[in-house]
């Protein structure tokens, strides 16, 4: 049996041990309630209920320790399968499937211990306190979590990639790309990232005639100038929490779904918003639209036709300054609707065929080779195009999750706060790679 199969068996054993501990806790709670129901005239030391409660408590403690030991053994084996395990130089070990952050949290010692202490009966006043944060994703796993489409569209080993004709886009398997799928993501061990960014470049490249005796004093080659500036991107924390009933913490599937569907999504959504429009005021990240030095095109009108021309001009600004056509442009939802329903004028104004194809079918909108996508974080009238790999996100810590009933009056209300957070730095590495479209006053 290989390590992966052993890990699966150990996971099953850990789940069974956790279920056993929960059962023993319920038995202990019932025995304790029976003891509390005895009258004041009963000799507690001689009552059989006392012996039953003590035996139930010992059984629970034994089962709880067995559950923790089984989970530790499983995680020890899992670590041997991870990035830190020794690997052969010629045959890299395939990474195991470690599941979502919700799955990792409900598999942790912290969650199992908390869940085992909460009885099934409603109204329990069992205190939880504030648990240590559980690292449910390393920095590398957090990067993969922020780029979900990269994992879906990656080609597994030993699979022949299908042919694709040039210029033909495949039908989409996922919703449109988000900015998180496009930016560069890396890691950092510091509390800030220092970057040297190009501020201005003047090329003096020119033809030079062959030097002769008479021209050697003046026939010099041109010197280009490059002005650079140091910039610092500070690490900040993105976090949010949700309330849950104490009884619901026992529901493994429910806790996992809540973390994956709400807490993870919220972290991704906020990071994407900051990349586009963060104002840079501590503790906010600085988004592209608020970065000094990026290109600017004045919005020339409110119609789809004028927006198409503005997007073309912005693509040219980036191409001229950076030397490459922008790969993606983002427009507000209102402006995207204008483009999607834009019509030609072959039959009169607003009566021709749809410029970008009928809205009832998937037809990508492209202007000068730049894919145009809608964005929720841009106000109406503002757009931005860019070569998005020139915006960097540096993960400082992975994703952590913690529980607490110490918030406000949560203890007496039988509520628990579930907190998720990550920390990162972010910023534009090359301002010439971006151009915004907005009113002249921006």
List pLDDT tens digits, range 297-317: 999 999 999 999 999 999 999
Q: What is the dihedral of CA 46, 48, 53, 59, to 10 degrees?
A: 110
Residue 118 has pLDDT above 80, yes or no: no
C-alpha distances out from residue 417 to 60, 123, 135, 175, 409, Å: 26, 17, 17, 31, 11
The Cβ of residue 272 has, within 10 Å, a number of other Cβ atoms equal to: 20
- Band of residue 89 on the pLDDT scale cut at 50, 70, 90: very low
The three-class DSSP label of residue 12 is helix
Stretch 80-85: mean pLDDT: 49
Which residue in 285, 310, 260 sits closest to 391, CA to CA?
Answer: 285
Class of residue 76 by CB neighbours under 10 A (exposed 0-12, middle 13-18, buried 19+): exposed
Q: Domain ranges in the chain?
A: 131-149+176-204+222-442
d(CA 214, CA 58): 103
Q: Decide: residue 258, CB within 10 A, 0-12 exposed, 13-18 middle, 19+ buried.
A: middle
CA dist 252 and 237 (Å) reads: 27
Cβ atoms of 293 and 321 closer than 8 Å? no
Determine which of 8-22, 143-157, 212-226, 338-352 has the lowest per-residue pLDDT on average: 143-157
Q: Which ranges in 147-200 belong to alpha helices (H)?
A: 148-153
Q: How far is the first Cα of the chain from the last one, in angstroms, to the nearest whole number?
A: 65
Strand partners, 298: 438
Nearest to 374, CA basis, from 337, 343, 341: 337
- Name which of 113-122, 169-178, 241-250, 388-397 the model is least confident about: 169-178
pLDDT of residue 149: 56
Asked if residues 311 and 366 have their Cβ atoms less than 8 Å apart, the reply is no
Strands 192-202, 383-386: pairing is unpaired
Report H helices in 37-47. none
Tokens of 420: 């998720």
Closest by alpha carbon to 236, among 288, 275, 290?
A: 275
pTM value? 0.69
Interatomic CA distance for residues 52 and 59, integer angstroms: 10
Which band of pLDDT confidence, cut at 50, 70 and 90, is reported for residue 327?
very high
Q: What is the mean pLDDT of residues 79-85?
A: 51
Just give the CATH number of 131-149+176-204+222-442: 3.30.2400.10
pLDDT for 91 beyond 70: no
HSE-up of residue 243 (Cα within 13 Å, Cβ side): 11
């Amino acid at each position: 049996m290989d390590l992966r199969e052993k890990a699966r068996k150990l996971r099953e054993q850990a789940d069974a041990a956790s279920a056993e501990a929960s059962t023993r806790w319920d038995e202990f709670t019932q025995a304790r309630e029976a003891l509390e129901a005895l009258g004041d005239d009963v000799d507690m030391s001689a009552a059989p209920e006392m012996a039953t409660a003590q035996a139930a408590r010992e059984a629970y403690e034994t089962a709880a320790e067995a559950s923790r030991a089984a989970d530790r053994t499983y995680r020890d084996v899992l670590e041997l399968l991870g990035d830190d395990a020794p690997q052969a130089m010629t045959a890299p070990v395939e990474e195991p499937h470690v599941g979502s952050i919700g799955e990792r949290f409900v598999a942790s010692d912290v969650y199992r211990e908390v869940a085992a202490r909460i009885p099934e009966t409603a109204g329990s006043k069992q205190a939880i306190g504030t648990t240590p944060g559980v690292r449910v994703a390393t920095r590398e796993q957090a990067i993969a979590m922020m780029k979900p489409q990269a994992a879906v569209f990656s080609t597994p080993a030993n699979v022949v990639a299908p042919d694709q004709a040039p210029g033909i886009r495949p039908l989409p398997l996922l919703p449109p790309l988000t900015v998180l799928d496009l930016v560069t993501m890396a890691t950092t061990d510091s509390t800030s990232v220092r970057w040297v960014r190009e501020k201005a470049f003047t090329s003096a490249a020119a033809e030079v005639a062959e030097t002769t005796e008479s021209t050697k004093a003046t026939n010099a080659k041109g010197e280009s100038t490059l002005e650079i500036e140091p910039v610092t991107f500070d690490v900040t924390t993105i976090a949010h929490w949700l309330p849950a009933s104490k009884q619901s913490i026992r529901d493994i599937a429910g806790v996992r779904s809540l973390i994956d569907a709400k807490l993870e999504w919220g972290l991704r959504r906020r990071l994407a918003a900051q990349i586009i429009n963060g104002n840079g005021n501590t503790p906010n990240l600085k988004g592209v639209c608020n970065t000094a030095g990026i290109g600017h095109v004045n919005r020339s009108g409110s119609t789809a036709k004028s927006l198409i021309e503005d997007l073309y001009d912005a693509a040219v600004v980036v191409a001229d300054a950076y030397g490459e056509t922008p790969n993606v442009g983002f427009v507000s939802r209102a402006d995207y609707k204008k483009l999607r329903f834009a019509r030609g004028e072959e039959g009169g104004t607003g009566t021709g065929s749809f410029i970008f194809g009928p809205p009832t079918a998937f037809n990508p909108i492209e202007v000068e080779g730049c894919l145009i996508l809608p964005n929720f974080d841009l106000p109406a009238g503002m757009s931005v195009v860019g070569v998005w790999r020139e915006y960097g996100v540096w993960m400082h810590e992975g994703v952590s999750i913690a529980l607490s009933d110490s918030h406000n009056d949560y203890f007496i209300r039988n509520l628990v706060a579930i907190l998720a957070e990550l920390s990162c730095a972010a910023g534009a590495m090359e301002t010439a790679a971006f151009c915004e479209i907005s009113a002249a006053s921006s």
